[in-house]
Amino acid sequence: GILPVEYLGTDWPYQALSLLTNARQILAHYQRQMLQKKEITLPFFFWTFKELSPSRQAELMSMVDTLLKQNRYKDAIQVGLKIIEIALKGLAYYQKHDRIALSISILLGFLGWISYVIVLLLRDYTTVGHTSLESSVRMPEDTISKIKCIFVYAFFGSIISFLLYVQNASVMYYAYFLLPVILWMMVSLQWDLINSAKLYIERRNVLYRFISLSVLSFIAVELLVLSFFKREILSFILWAIASWPFFSPLTSPHKKLCFAWCTTCVILSVFPMLPVVGRESNYNLVILAGWLFVLCVGLCARRPETGLILNNRQCRREPQNIVITTAIQVILLCAATFTVQSTASSISNKEGLPLLNQIVSWLILGSSLVLPPFGSQSVLTRLLNVMTSLFAPYILLCISHEGIFCLFLCIQMILWLYLEHHLSYNYQKLQDLFFVSSPTHVLRKPILHELSLADLRRAYFFIFFIFLAFFGTGNIASINSFDPTSVYCFLTIFNPFVMGFLILLKILIPFLIVSCVFRAIIVSLKISPRAMFLLILLMSDFLGLHFFFLVKDSGSWLDIGTSLSHYIISITIIIFIMLLYGLAWFLTSFSLNFPSFKRKRHLL
Contact 451, 466 (CB under 8 A): no
551-593 per-position pLDDT tens digit: 888 777 878 888 888 888 888 888 899 999 999 999 998 887 7
What pLDDT, on the 0 to 100 scale, is given for residue 140? 59
- Amino acid identity, position 90: G
Mean pLDDT of 155-180: 89
Considering 163-167, 310-314, 422-426, the range whose residues carry the highest mean pLDDT is: 163-167
Mean pLDDT, the chain, integer: 85
What pLDDT, on the 0 to 100 scale, is given for residue 462? 95
Separation between Cα atoms, residue 37 and residue 49, nearest integer Å? 12
SS3 434: strand
SS3 378: strand
* DSSP secondary structure, 427-488, as one string: SS-GGG-BSS--HHHHHSPPPP----HHHHHHHHHHHHHHHHHHHTT--HHHHHS--GGGGT
The pTM (predicted TM-score) of the whole model is 0.86
Separation between Cα atoms, residue 472 and residue 235, nearest integer Å? 9
| % helix, strand, coil for the chain, step of 5 | 75, 0, 25
User: Is the pLDDT confidence value at 111 over 70?
Assistant: yes
Largest CA distance in the chain: 128
Task: Using alpha carbons only, give the angle 530, 533, 539 rounded to the nearest 5 degrees.
Answer: 150
288-305 per-position pLDDT tens digit: 999 999 999 999 988 888
E-strand ranges in 380-539 read none
What pLDDT, on the 0 to 100 scale, is given for residue 439? 45
